[in-house]
A and B are shown apart, each in its own frame.
Chain A
Amino acid sequence: MESENELNSIIFIGTFLMLFLAFGLLFMVLFYQRHLAKIKKRETELLLKTALKSEKKERKRIAKDLHDAIQSDLNAIRNYVVLFSKKNSHPDAPELLEAIHTSLEQTIENTRLISYQLMPPLLETAGFNLALRDYFEQLSTSNGKRFELDINLAETLVSNKISYELFRVVQELTSNMLKHGSISTCTARLNTSSKGVCFELIDNGIPFDFKAEYKLNKGTGLQNIQSRLKSISATLEQETIAKGNHYKIYLFSHL
């Protein structure tokens, strides 16, 4: 009887200790691995933020260079051409110079456009709302589609800290609409909800499931949107509508 009790103790204490050891090992690893994964995630986010920041800086520099150096040089050349055309007496010269003048004008316009797309000057000087209004006006004029702002955007302010990333997201979404969506109208709204400041973009084009396409890793543009939203702690939700797409971007940092 005594030996049976002893055996009982050995078996149960031994088994308990071994199981304790196994569970301890598993929990320790689980806990430590989660901790490591968190650190790694934070590191990746930091890297992403740094990359986006340096990209912004670089865009700014290129836009400034294009505007200050190339565009002023082109302007000077245009002036020389105008002067030359007035003084030259060769019969073919005026026609030739007219052609040079036209292509120079086109180059100047293109440089201005590239410079604008790299870094819209209004974004820095007048803020997100006016830059967006200006961008929508330009899109309406150049593409013949209706891009409109539904409300008075001045009522809700978007801080400069996140305006650049949000503007790039809007640019990406609108260029997708124009390229693949066959839209005729697009409306932007900005309002405050319980979930934070909400930016909405509604179009009447071909329906597009953003999350499903993103999961399938289709297009760098979608990944670009997602990384930019992540860097400003914003989320994108999509609502189902009868025709077209309805995107909602929640800016939690504005709560």
Chain B
Amino acid sequence: MTLWQIISIFLIFGGAFFISVGSIGLIRLPDFYSRCHATGKADTLGLLLVIAGLIVYEGFSLHSAKLLIILIFVGLTSPTATHALARAAFRFGIKPRFKKPATTREKT
């Protein structure tokens, strides 16, 4: 096992970790906008890390160039799609969830 394979194993493990964090945030967070935050950033970072690990494993060839194209495309479009969905939800009239003020908490 060479050094490049060890680097790619670390990158792919990091990507799988971030994808798991994004998925857990998708079901644990209480609000639609916070769910957008979880899946828009953590999931994209995990996907980019996995593709970067595959580029390191592949080396310098045509396939790694195609993988680089996929990496740039996903890094541009995945946050764009999440942003469009969040803007549509805001215009649809979904209210964000705010913390209750401290005065009402003291009353109860």
Partners in one complex: no
Chain B contact residues, CB within 8 Å of chain A: none
Residues of A within 8 A of B (CB): none
